[in-house]
Amino acid sequence: MSSDAKPKLQPVRGTQDILPDLARAFRVIDAIACEKANLYGYEEIHTPIFEFSEVFHRTLGETSDMVSKETYTFQDRGGDSLTLRPEGTAGIARAFITNGLAQNLPLKFYYSGPMFRYERPQKGRYRQFHQVGVECLGLETPAADVECLALAYDLLGALGLHNKVSLEINSLGDAESRQKHRELLVDYLRDYESQLSEDSKIRLTKNPLRILDSKDAGDKKIVAGAPALRECLNQASKDFFAQVLAGLDTLKISYSVNDSLVRGIDYYTHTVFEFVTTELGAQGTVLAGGRYDGLIEIMGGNRTPGVGWASGLERLALLLAAEKNQPKAFDIAVIAADPSAEQKCLRLAHELRIGDLKVELIPGNNVGKKMKRANKIGARFALIIGESELQANSVTVKNLTSGEQKLVKDSELFQTLKN
């Protein structure tokens, strides 16, 4: 490229600019999620957006797609291998260990922020994306799973999405159950090894459970006849899952048991779940999570049970009712009908904002265009000040809904607006 050639300015593939409408939707979701989480006793936590690579590579599993294909991993100037966080749970588990929080169990955390995965961009899926999520540490009871699911259900309800999503749930069982299933699954798949996709051939020796979640059409046909995980659950695992389902029944939260539902991350155990939709094409998962009793132990801490979920803001925003994405109307538009009134308008707009009113001080010289702008931004009232208003120490107040207008003394303006 020559030195005088114009650069091709566009966002990096898989990223997007968060423009005001989307930013507004994000704020709505985050605020509601934070409020609902607080009602359940969750406290806000923020972890760095990058960690030492081992935090993710060790916990997510070196053979997982997320680690082997999707993480943004780089070496910093000090020679350390760092990874941009692809999900929130491992970072929170690291923070739990680093900050010596084991004495404070149980703990409930709420988080939100950007995550990073190198994957093919699709509708509602980006390489830099944003999540809200919760993690409950220190409780090993089915009731904790039910409460976690209830919080997710309440959030989706508060966003008006109950009619657009459905809950799918499954049990991965405890370590004993998963080992038994692994052995049967490997024995079954060995007979089809030559027909498996290249990725699944690798997984067969390292993590065969992930073959059940393969998107390859040939793999799907093979695993359709594989031994079902539910057939390998020991009694303790069956009882745990039954209590989770009973809790959902008690709360009247509808669900369907999906035997093929697994998680693509190594640390999950027992309950796994997804709230899914048919309105986003192939990317139907809106919120997902489950129990991960072995995660903190894998990271070098004491065995600490955990359960949690995460939801993508981009996908939630796509599902939000249209009115939730509309700009919030302005309370007041302040209009100078004469250049001599501009300083008074500036001062008045500032005073109204201090009084917690949303105010637009509309620039320009044409009063007609200013009034059109006031209507366009959805202002409830227009405050108009010209030469005559200055002389009378007054403001013309126009109700932009009814069209009624009247002259109000400066000293009576705040009371008039309040009324």
Enclosing domain of residue 337: 332-418
Long-range contacts of 178-182, Cβ-Cβ distance < 8 Å, separation of 24 or more: 178/209, 178/229, 178/232, 178/269, 180/232, 180/234, 181/209, 181/227, 181/229, 181/231, 181/232, 182/208, 182/209
Q: Is residue 115 part of a domain?
A: yes
Report pTM.
Answer: 0.83
pLDDT tens for each residue of the chain, 419 residues long = 555 667 778 999 999 999 988 999 999 999 999 999 999 999 999 999 999 999 988 776 554 555 556 889 999 999 999 999 999 999 999 999 999 999 999 999 999 999 999 988 887 789 999 999 999 999 999 999 999 999 999 999 999 999 999 999 999 999 888 888 888 989 999 988 889 998 888 888 777 877 887 778 888 899 888 888 888 999 999 999 999 999 999 999 999 999 888 775 667 889 999 999 988 876 689 999 999 998 999 888 999 999 999 999 999 999 985 445 455 678 999 999 999 999 999 999 999 999 888 999 998 889 999 999 999 989 999 999 999 999 999 999 999 999 999 999 999 998 888 77
Q: Is residue 181 part of a domain?
A: no
Q: Is residue 252 part of a domain?
A: yes
Domain end call among 299, 323, 347: 323
Same domain, 66 and 148: yes
Q: Is residue 257 part of a domain?
A: yes
Q: Is residue 202 part of a domain?
A: no
Total domains in the chain come to: 2
Q: Is residue 408 part of a domain?
A: yes
Q: Is residue 407 part of a domain?
A: yes
Domain end call among 292, 323, 354: 323
CATH of the domain at 351: 3.40.50.800
Q: Rounded distance, CA 186 to CA 113, Å?
A: 38
Domain end call among 323, 358, 380: 323
Same domain, 145 and 283: yes
CATH of the domain at 294: 3.30.930.10
Q: Is residue 245 part of a domain?
A: yes
306 CB neighbour count, 10 Å cutoff: 28
Same domain, 29 and 130: yes
Three-state DSSP at 101 gives helix
